[in-house]
Amino acid sequence: MLSASGQDRSPFIRAVGRALPPHYASQEQLIAAFRELWATRHFNLERLEDLHRAVQVGGRHLARPLEDYPSLVTFQQRNDAWIRSATELGETVARKALEAAELTPRDVDHVFFVTVTGIATPSIDARLANRLRLREDFKRTPLFGLGCVAGAAGVARAADYLRGFPEHTALVIAVELCSLTLQREDLSIPNIIASGLFGDGAACAVLRGAAAPGGQGPRVVASRSVFYPDTERIMGWDVVDTGFKVVLSAKVPGLVKDHIRGNVDGFLEAHGLKRQDIRHWVAHTGGPKVLEAFEEALELAPATLARSWASLREVGNLSSASVLFVLGETLEQVQAQPGDWGVMMAMGPGFGAEMVLLRW
């Protein structure tokens, strides 16, 4: 995006910090724990194992040790655990990202905090301000409810802000502790799938405006949000007495196949591009069927989404933090050349999509 004077006002992504909780359980350990939990409920335990293995997740990091979860009975107990862990992980990823960007907390002008797995007032960004000793005049934008799409949407909204304040620095912090939302009394297929797919983790992206010193990294050239009408029951939460009960429709992969090609092609066409011009694809790790739908609809070569597949296998779907994990790995592992184009994309509750156009 050019200013009236012809200068490029596209912000830079300087760095992405990532962190996982210290507690880890393999998928086999988790299957064993769920078998013990649900054995007395006469649930089809073989079906449980089939669903867990079908998501192709090798294991997940957990906010608390596995043996602690039986004692977290009420919504308040789980949410209190969420606040503690979210604050700790949020501080960790913010410090990692700022160090990688060669910046300090005093350089931060705006914090966008995204989550869908816990609630707090004041929000976690306020608690992080105290821990990090951010300036008193920094701005806060906590975003709740966007779910898996929020990592990409957070980057897009931060970039929008930085076009208006090109000398500023913004953080996009995503913290998701999906394990603390599990409804142990819910034996529905969506809850069983969620118990095998979603993991815990956090990420922080550092963005700087075009006029800020030391501009480097890919620029956020443009973004586009797409909302699909009348799809509220495709994905989200039902807020019940025991907390967040997952809404997860089997129609998600079909929606991806039906819409994402037209969405991406229209977005690229608006900037004079085609899919063949994109060298780097940064896709949210929605699950095997979602990644397959991305590949099929966009006609991507098998290795194109390798980093997304690897992240899914290693840590599971981290909701909003997932696409930032893949973005961070792309920045660190890929030898991008000046002029390379990239697309970051995610889908989530609404139901809708977010696409971000990147250029190195």
Please report, as a single letter, which amino acid is at residue 170: A
Residues 101-110 pLDDT 10s: 999 999 999 9
- Catalytic, 148? Answer yes
pLDDT digits (tens, 9 = 90+) for 240-253: 999 999 999 999 99
Instruction: Name 280's bridge partners.
Output: 342
pLDDT at residue 42 greater than cutoff 70: no
For residue 131, pLDDT over 60 is answered with yes
CA dist 219 and 297 (Å) reads 26
- Residue 30 CA to residue 145 CA, distance in Å, equals 27
Q: What is the mean pLDDT of residues 83-112?
A: 98
**Looking at residue 43, what is its pLDDT?**
63
The pLDDT tens digits of the residues spanning 5-30 come to 567 899 999 999 999 999 999 999 99
Catalytic residue among 148, 202, 210, 326: 148
| Average pLDDT of the residues of the chain | 95
Does residue 61 sit in helix, strand or coil?
Answer: strand
Map out the domains of the chain with their CATH numbers. 12-208 (3.40.47.10), 219-359 (3.40.47.10)
pLDDT value of residue 112: 98
59-81 mean pLDDT: 96
Percent of the chain residues topping a pLDDT of 90: 88
Looking at residue 40, what is its pLDDT? Answer: 74
- Report the range of poorest mean pLDDT among 42-46, 174-178, 261-265, 324-328: 42-46
Examine the pLDDT at 32 and tell me if it is beyond 80. yes
User: Do residues 321 and 118 touch, judged by C-beta distance below 8 A?
Assistant: no
Strands (E), 241-340: 243-248, 278-283
Q: Is pLDDT above 80 for 45?
A: no
pLDDT at 7: 73
Name the pLDDT band for 174 (thresholds 50, 70, 90).
very high
The tokens of 194 are what? Answer: 């969620």
CB 163 within 8 A of CB 224: no
Whether this model's pTM surpasses 0.75: yes
Mean of pLDDT values over 298-315? 96
Query: Does position 2 have pLDDT exceeding 70, yes or no?
Result: no
